[in-house]
Structure 1
Amino acid sequence: MLTNYSENELQLTADVLVIGGGPAAAWAAWAAADQGVKVIIADKGFLGTSGAAAASGNGIMAPSPENWEKVVSERYRIGKNLANLRWIERVIEKTWLSLPLVENWGYRFPKENGESVRQSYYGPEYMRVMRKNLLRVGVEILDQSPVLELLLTDDGAVAGARGVQRQNHRTYTVRAGAVVMANGGCAFLSKALGCNTNTGDGMLMAVEAGSELSSMEASNHYAISTGFNATVTRGVPFGWASYSDEAGNDLGGYINGRRDPAFLPNALLKGSVYARLDRATPEVKAVIEKSHFIAFLPYKKAGIDPYTERVPVTLILEGTVRGTGGIKIINDSCGTTVPGLYAAGDAASREFLAGLASGGGGPNAAWAISTGQWAGVGAAEFAKSLGVHAHDRVVRPAGQVGLRSPMVGGTPSPSTTSETFDSEAIVRGVQAEMFPLEKNYLRSEKGLLDSLAKLETLWQQVQMTPKQDSVRDIEVSRRAAALTAVARWAYFSALHRTESRSEHIRVDYPETDVNQRYYQATGGLDKLWVRRDWITEPIATSPVVNNPTPASV
């Protein structure tokens, strides 16, 4: 399809196309351009203001070298024997060495004793600086231009992408030597602040092109938010909260002096929960109000003092944005199983860094900075290897579901071409399976099979003819297909990991099985599949950084 908007189609060429508009995409575009190649970056929003990073402040896992061993050890421990020690080390080193570049580009980190403290950033300013730097180095930015499908050569390599431009009401094509997928994870349109651009498009496009996903069972991260304005998901202030039920009874939630991570979801399954930040000292208040001020805006608007008054709290699904699952990375350059396709940031699986635990916050910020650069350089080198005839290759569009009518024998199926599907109804159906804690947080074989059956019905519905009265219709239809696809991969993967580990909780298999030390690859469109990729590296009992002194960026 898309032919209705092709009369004035924009046609462009580049060595590297970066898809996305957050930190990982910006770092990838800069790194590729730094290799002397032509780079185009396409974002469904406005690069610099859209996405989770631009919405507020965020920590960065960038300790000084003398603290690397401690941080590496802690990240490895959290990964519960699934994280990769070498990858943790290289992410931390790359991030620490990269942050002075941001300062050179114009970002002002706070100072202590005359030294820059580069362990967090203010999202809007950080992304403003990143955009300004991309323009400075000659990267072409396509705003309001959601990418809908990849282009493939006859031998299965990625050779660009195609999308729509909302403001110009037209399609566009970018022929490229290589593509970096850095358009985030999937939060299932939960309205978590900055996450509604994260709808799993990259995962669907990658699988259509022949790529694999990994660790999709770790796709169910929930974040705390106030119940009266459930969009801001900043959990740090709630570290100083006490919790109570409707009647005011203290809910405790502590085990050996530390709050049990499962406390809040289990409490919410029983009834309403209220929080009061009454454990915060004056010093703590000053710090958290400055670094997480956006979390306090709902209180100010409602005229509530969160330190003395109880506020209702809830949990919002952030899915793979602060979860782990994503496109499978197969080498140090963040390449995928498809030639010419690279993945970075939340679009990629973060299993090497986090196992099946959340990497949300500082670790994911570091992952975006480091993998963005590795993917950008890898894509640039791949594009250079193609020579001057890269754009002479014959290509075909890889997209299908949500874009085109089903094909039978090379032609549209006559039984479905006149019937369109309701994108909004599809999204509501997906959310009905993914949002409830009793389905997605507390998983069981029966529950997963029941949800998968319903999701399969939705998948059959999105096979029908998509509505395409406008470019917005095309985008929305494709988005509904992506959300359905990601939900199926998440639950199918969860069904096949018969243990509880980190974010993945099976009530019918409540213990962690030491024998299940593998990553779980998954993929497929109409027919889903899983594969166990066993981890062969020995378990590190006392991780030690191999090279605590950085050598080069």
Structure 2
Amino acid sequence: MTLTTDVLVVGGGPAATWAALKAAEQGASVVLADKGYCGTSGATASVGTGVWYVPPDEKAREAAMSSREALGGHLADRRWMARVLDETYERVNELAEAGRYPFPTGPDGTPLRNGLQGPEYMRRQRIRVKRAGVTVLDHSPVTELLTDADGAVAGAAGYRRQAGQPFEVRAGAVVLATGGCAFLSKAFGCNVNTGDGALLAAETGAELSGMEFSNAYGIAPEHTSVTKTAFYNYATFYRADGEVLEGAGSQRGRSVIARTLLSGKVFCKLDLADDAAQRAMRLAQPNFFLTFDRLGINPFTDPFAITLLAEGTVRGTGGIRIVDDGCATTVPGLYAAGDAATRELICGGFTGGGSHNAAWAISSGSWAGRSAARFARALGRGARQVSAAGGAGLRPTRGAKDVDVVEIIRTVQAEVLPYDKNYLRHGDVLRSALRQLDGAWRSVRSDLRAEGASTVTARQAVAMVAHARWMYTSALLRVESRGMAKRLDHPGLDPAQHHRITSGGLDQVWARPEGAAA
């Protein structure tokens, strides 16, 4: 199946749907291709999330911007923060009015618009996208981008799972809104987030930024996937013998939890939540409590075991580097939005959690959609000669051999999921992990060739290998502890390293301070 459109949006979450809506509003024809079913797949569709929604009050805005600057190592940009707050305020109000989202009201009747129920939010976003005339391709993962003779992105190709057929979309511009990478850790809603967009971008020559800020781990009850970490601000943590685990916490102190889990269990109770907070938590995130209710556990009074699940660049801040206010990448015709793009501009080097990520998805998606539409309109609709940009997993350099994709995924997970490798980082450990990851890359690059439906799994594995290599190469270059990129062998903050780190490359991965010569 071959389609032609002005703008192709790759993804199906908040950033993708906002990009599709705003591109369509510009008069562009739009195709949206989602790996899953648009409106139900991804991290947002399965949970409730806060939103960085702040009315245009000077003091409130100042407090909102300053609250996390130190946590992020002072790498955020005030101008971008202000832009996101402005855009989010307008778009959330639009969602309430045009989208008729049922925001609750406070005791005084004031609408409370700083939170969204993911399933209802995304259901309405799908309806709005369809009504805007966007062609939605569900269960249609994109496996590679297309480029023209000048190197500009000119569309994408993929595989329609339910139809059992390949597809191709020729487009004037492409928006990548595919989410971050959680390495199939089973964190709630994140198993579609395998870093596909970053791989697609890098294969066309795009750069990444902040990939060292990728060691996000969410707290979850043991043997479950629900990482609603904000609720653990109300928790007291305990060792297996019942002793309080000093220094453990949700925002600060997760490393204490990680160290303890390496040798034993950690328990907790949400015993700091009063009656009002308990009621609010149940309303905000009902599915958080399902497991407890079924097991007869009261999480506010009964201790329960917890674990940490890797959320990588879904809750980290690294991603595709953007170079202008319209979320363009370093490659003409290619735009990035949401968790696929770097969030350093508003969060610096520390996760903004759900609220900042939700605001960034809304804002960056809107900007990218508008900009992609303008780029496509300026380009015109003449036919372009295109070529496929995909490499590893599609076009091996030596010739196809029997490469075990499942084993490749296990190799990546063995290097990025353990706390003592990715979370509690040390230079020697990072270098050892990179050697294993480099070996996995050589294998998929030289020998892996998939066809038909198997291209989807193969390319996910390739994307995860690439993602891990950018992460650890960037982490080795940052020889200090800043934001969430902490190094056990360099525990201090170095003022001389107050810069962002860009990275890229596939066969030869590179990382350097932003603005430094190649």
Mapped partners of 1:307, 1:254: distance in 2:
17
Deviation readout 1:82-141 (Å, 9 max, x if unpaired): 110100111011101111111121211111233321100000000000000011110010
| Cα deviation 1:492-530 (Å, max 9, x = unaligned) | 110111000111011110001111011111000111111
Amino acid at match of 2:489: D
Contact 1:274 1:310 in 2 (8 A): yes
Task: Look up the match of 1:28.
Answer: 19
Shift of 1:266: 2.7
2:436 aligned with 1:454: yes
- What residue identity is the alignment partner of 1:394? Q
Q: TM-score, normalised by structure 2?
A: 0.96
Counterpart among 35, 39, 43 of residue 52 in structure 1: 43
Distance 2:277 2:199 in 1: 43
Counterpart of 1:107 in structure 2 is 101
Any residues of structure 2 matched to 1:303-342 within 5 Å, and which?
303-342=296-335
Does the 8 Å CA contact 2:392/2:449 hold for their aligned counterparts?
A: no
Shift of 1:288: 0.9
Q: How is 1:91-490 mapped onto 2 (pairs within 5 angstroms)?
A: 91-103=84-96, 104-112=98-106, 113-229=108-224, 231-253=225-247, 260-389=253-382, 392-406=383-397, 413=398, 416-417=399-400, 419-466=401-448, 468=450, 471-490=452-471
SS in 2 for 1:498: coil
Asked if the contact 1:152/1:398 (under 8 Å) is kept, the reply is yes
* C-alpha distance in structure 2 between counterparts of 1:99 and 1:431, whole Å: 37
Structure 1 segments, 4+ long, off by >6 Å, are none
- C-alpha contact 1:403 1:474 (8 A) present in aligned 2: yes
Tell me the SS of whatever aligns to 1:77.
Answer: coil
Give 1:261 shift: 4.3
> Contact 1:466 / 1:474 at 8 angstroms: preserved in 2?
no
- Cα distance in 1 for residues equivalent to 2:312 and 2:353: 11
Match of 1:527 in 2: 508
SS at match of 2:453: helix
- Give a deviation string over 1:185-224, Cα, whole Å, max 9, x none: 0000000011000000000010000100011001110000
State the Cα distance separating 1:289 from its structure 2 match: 1.3
Q: Does the CA-based 8 Å contact 1:518-1:534 persist in structure 2? A: no
Q: 2:475, 2:381 → 1: CA distance?
A: 45
What corresponds to 1:74 in structure 2?
A: 67
Q: Which amino acid aligns with 2:478?
A: R
Aligned Cα root-mean-square deviation (Å): 1.6
Q: Which amino acid aligns with 1:210?
A: G
Q: Distance in 2 between matches of 1:228 and 1:149?
A: 35
* Cα gap change, 1:26 to 1:519, in 2 (>3 Å): same
Residue 488 of structure 2 corresponds to which residue in structure 1? 507
CA distance in 2, matches of 1:180, 1:238: 35
Q: Residue in 2 aligned with 1:12?
A: 3
Unpaired segments ≥5 residues, structure 1? 1-9, 407-412, 536-553
Aligned-partner residue type, residue 493 of structure 2: T
TM-score by length of 1: 0.90
Given that 2:233 and 2:251 are in contact with CA atoms closer than 8 Å, whether structure 1 keeps it comes out as no
CA distance in 2, matches of 1:468, 1:352: 37
Partner amino acid, structure 1, of 2:484: E
Paired AA for residue 97 in structure 1: E
- Partners of 1:370 and 1:317 lie apart in 2 by 26
1:312-345 alpha-carbon deviations (Å, 9 max, x no partner) = 1010000000001100000000000000000000
Q: Which of 502, 516, 524 matches 2:497?
A: 516
The one-character-per-residue Cα deviations of 1:142-189 (angstroms, maximum 9, x if unpaired) are 000000000001111000000000011110000000000001000000
C-alpha distance in 1 between matches for 2:453 and 2:222: 31
2-structure distance, mates of 1:449, 1:102: 47
Give the match for residue 550 of structure 1: none
SS of match in other structure, 1:321: helix
Amino acid paired to 1:136: R
Structure 2, gaps ≥5 residues long: none
Q: State yes or no: 1:63 paired with 2:57.
A: no
SS at match of 1:320: helix
For 2:252 and 2:2, the matched residues in 1 are separated by: 55
User: Which shifted more, 293-302 or 395-404?
Assistant: 293-302
Whole-angstrom CA distance in 1 between matches of 2:155 and 2:433: 35
- Residue 543 of structure 1 corresponds to none
Aligned counterparts of 2:76 and 2:443: Cα–Cα separation in 1: 38
Q: Amino acid of the residue matched to residue 319 of structure 2?
A: G
Q: Secondary structure at the match of 2:514?
A: strand
Query: CA–CA distance in 2 between the matches of 1:17 and 1:463?
Result: 27
Name the SS for the 2:70 alignment partner: helix
Q: Is the 8 A contact 1:76 1:85 kept in 2?
A: no
Contact kept, 8 Å, 1:75 with 1:88, in 2: the verdict is: no
Q: Which amino acid aligns with 1:323?
A: G
Q: CA offsets per residue over residues 366-405 of structure 1, 9 Å max, x none?
A: 000000000001100100111231xx11110000101123
Equivalent pairs counted in the alignment come to: 512
Conserved 8 A contact 2:72-2:484: no
Q: How far did 1:245 drift?
A: 1.0
- Once residues 24 and 142 of structure 1 are traced to their aligned partners in structure 2, the CA distance between those partners, rounded to angstroms, is 16
Alignment CA distance shift 1:158-1:467 (3 Å)? closer
1:495 corresponds to which letter in structure 2?
Answer: L
Deviation (angstroms), 1:228: 2.9
Q: CA deviation at 1:474?
A: 1.2
**Alpha-carbon deviations, 1:339-372, whole Å to 9, x = none?**
0000000000111111111122100000000000
Cα distance in 2 for residues equivalent to 1:238 and 1:488 = 31
Match for 1:274: what amino acid? F
